[in-house]
């Protein structure tokens, strides 16, 4: 019987099999990683053409004003790749709110609420599968068309850049959000890649920065509008009341310096020892600087933070730039910060929020833009419930501060240009004298009616000068639009 022959192993073939197996496992691992872990990054990559095609394959949900007026919708363009084109009927008027959606991505509400507008939100997607619909959800905003147009036209009439925000004090609902210069979001709705690139380059390079939403993305020195915060700190401290006499020299030497602070125009403030309410009404600088030195930076900072300065948790739903009260300061800097100068910074939204808090008995409500999210069949899947954001001061002090603010729009006050016959308007003017260019910003914050507040407004006009002359009429136009017959 022949002996069995030894089995010969094909070593090169085994090596090939092992290499192929390793490559197969590596390929499976890579596919798993891409599909399970890296999908979001790839979907967000602007070079991903499939994502761009999917973005415009179906109609996005509409964006509506509070009265149902459509300010963003989708129309069938009949294109092979990009079928549904976004349309913004009012163009620049609502651009700071809507933003835009394009081949490059999005901005404004279009970006912040993309999941529900596109239908990718799970609540919308499930409903679409059940009922066979393809459109995204509709957003109903809090924006009031009359207030928005009044703010837009009044600010545009100044011929200057700036922003306006109007809020319902009791709820935080944003009634108007204007930023100028603005842009036409329809320009971004083109599917011509070369044309879109040219439009984007032009708008990005525009020195007026029309793509910047100044209302929430930019902060500015608040000027004397910050005296509301300083007054709140003074009243809350228990050391001051509206009738407390405050030292008001024509010139005040800032501690530790050779610099003298003077009142606007270098004028005297009353008899040199006026009540706090008079100093507030006429917006004197030297008494508020002395109050700042007396209270100290920690007390002022605590009060500023109660109004929301320093917070980075605010979205409307677009993210909001932080309003700033400075960190460690010396006494001279503290004196200037009490006037809204030095390194104080506030967004126009914050300027409106300061008045809204006082108007609502010291309770600052969280500002918001989206009132409800509605599916194509009319089902409401989300509705904003107003919520408390900050307790800024107690009701008693808020009422005393309101009485002081009302005097600003009465004869002898700095804000008479915002007075509305038959309506008590509470307000504070501001002139930001440390603007980077050396030209003052005009600022105004107000609410009305004082006894039953329906609207609070913040106005900032870049390089506009005195707030009582330039910004106050803008605020007045917005308040009258909201109050209707009462205004």
Active-site amino acid positions: 224
H/E segment holding residue 468: helix 467-470
d(CA 28, CA 31) in angstroms, rounded, equals 5
Nearest Cα to 443, choosing from 236, 162, 232?
162
Number of residues in the chain: 487
| Region of 340 on the Ramachandran plot (φ > 0 left; ψ -120 to 50 alpha; else beta) | left
DSSP state, residue 192: -
Is the CB of residue 477 less than 8 Å from the CB of residue 150?
Answer: yes
d(CA 310, CA 297) in angstroms, rounded, equals 14
d(CA 76, CA 53) in angstroms, rounded, equals 14
d(CA 352, CA 487) in angstroms, rounded, equals 19
d(CA 400, CA 20) in angstroms, rounded, equals 81
Nearest Cα to 61, choosing from 121, 146, 126?
121
Terminal CA-CA length for the chain: 119
Q: Indicate the burial class of 436 (C-beta count within 10 angstroms; 0-12, 13-18, 19 or more).
A: exposed
Q: Indicate the burial class of 40 (C-beta count within 10 angstroms; 0-12, 13-18, 19 or more).
A: exposed
Nearest Cα to 242, choosing from 297, 292, 279?
279
d(CA 438, CA 76) in angstroms, rounded, equals 50
Write out the two tokens for 312: 């980075």
Nearest Cα to 180, choosing from 245, 94, 252?
94
For 238-275, where are the alpha helices, taking DSSP H only?
none
Torsion angle defined by CA atoms of residues 251, 254, 257 and 260, in that order, rounded to the nearest 10 degrees: -20
d(CA 11, CA 31) in angstroms, rounded, equals 30
């Amino acid at each position: 019987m022949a002996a069995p022959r030894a089995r010969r192993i094909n070593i090169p073939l085994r090596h090939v099999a092992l290499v192929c197996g390793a490559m197969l496992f590596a390929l499976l691992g890579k596919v798993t990683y891409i599909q399970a872990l890296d999908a979001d990054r790839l979907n967000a990559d602007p070079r991903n053409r499939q994502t761009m095609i999917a973005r415009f394959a179906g109609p996005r949900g509409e964006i509506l004003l509070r009265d149902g007026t459509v300010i963003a919708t989708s129309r069938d363009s009949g294109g092979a790749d990009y079928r549904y084109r976004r349309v913004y009927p009012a163009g620049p008027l609502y651009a700071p709110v809507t933003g835009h959606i394009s081949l490059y991505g999005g901005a404004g509400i279009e970006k912040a609420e993309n999941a529900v507008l596109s239908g990718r939100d799970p609540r919308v997607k499930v409903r679409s599968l059940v009922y066979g619909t393809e459109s995204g959800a509709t957003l109903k905003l809090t924006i009031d068309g009359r207030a928005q147009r009044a703010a837009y036209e009044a600010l545009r009439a100044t011929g200057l850049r700036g922003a306006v925000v109007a809020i319902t004090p009791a709820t935080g609902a944003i009634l108007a959000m204007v930023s100028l210069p603005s842009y036409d979001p329809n320009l971004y709705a083109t599917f011509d890649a070369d044309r879109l690139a040219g439009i984007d380059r032009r708008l990005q390079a525009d020195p007026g920065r029309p793509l910047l939403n100044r209302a929430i993305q930019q902060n500015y020195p608040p000027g004397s509008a910050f005296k509301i915060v300083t007054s709140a700190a003074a009243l809350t401290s228990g050391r001051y009341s509206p009738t407390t006499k405050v030292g008001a020299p024509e010139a005040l030497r800032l501690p530790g310096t050779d610099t003298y602070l003077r009142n606007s125009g270098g004028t005297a403030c009353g008899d040199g020892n006026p009540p706090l309410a008079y100093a507030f009404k006429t917006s004197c600088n030297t008494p508020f600087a002395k109050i700042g030195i007396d209270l100290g930076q920690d007390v002022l900072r605590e009060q500023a933070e109660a109004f929301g300065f320093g917070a980075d948790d605010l979205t409307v739903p677009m993210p909001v730039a932080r309003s700033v009260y400075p960190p460690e300061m010396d006494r001279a800097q503290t004196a200037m910060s009490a006037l809204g100068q030095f390194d104080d910074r506030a967004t126009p939204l914050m300027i409106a929020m300061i008045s809204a808090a006082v108007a609502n008995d010291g309770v600052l409500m969280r500002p918001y833009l989206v009132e409800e999210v509605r599916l194509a069949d009319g089902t409401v899947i989300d509705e904003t419930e107003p919520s408390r954001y900050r307790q800024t001061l107690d009701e008693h002090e808020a009422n005393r501060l309101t009485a002081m603010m009302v005097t600003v729009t009465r004869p002898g006050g700095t804000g008479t240009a915002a007075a509305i016959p038959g309506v008590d308007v509470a307000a504070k003017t501001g002139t930001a004298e440390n603007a980077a260019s050396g030209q003052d910003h005009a600022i105004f914050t107000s609410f009305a009616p004082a006894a039953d507040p329906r609207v609070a407004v913040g106005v900032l006009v870049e390089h506009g000068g005195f707030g009582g002359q330039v910004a106050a009429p803008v605020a007045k136009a917005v308040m009258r639009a909201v109050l209707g017959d009462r205004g």
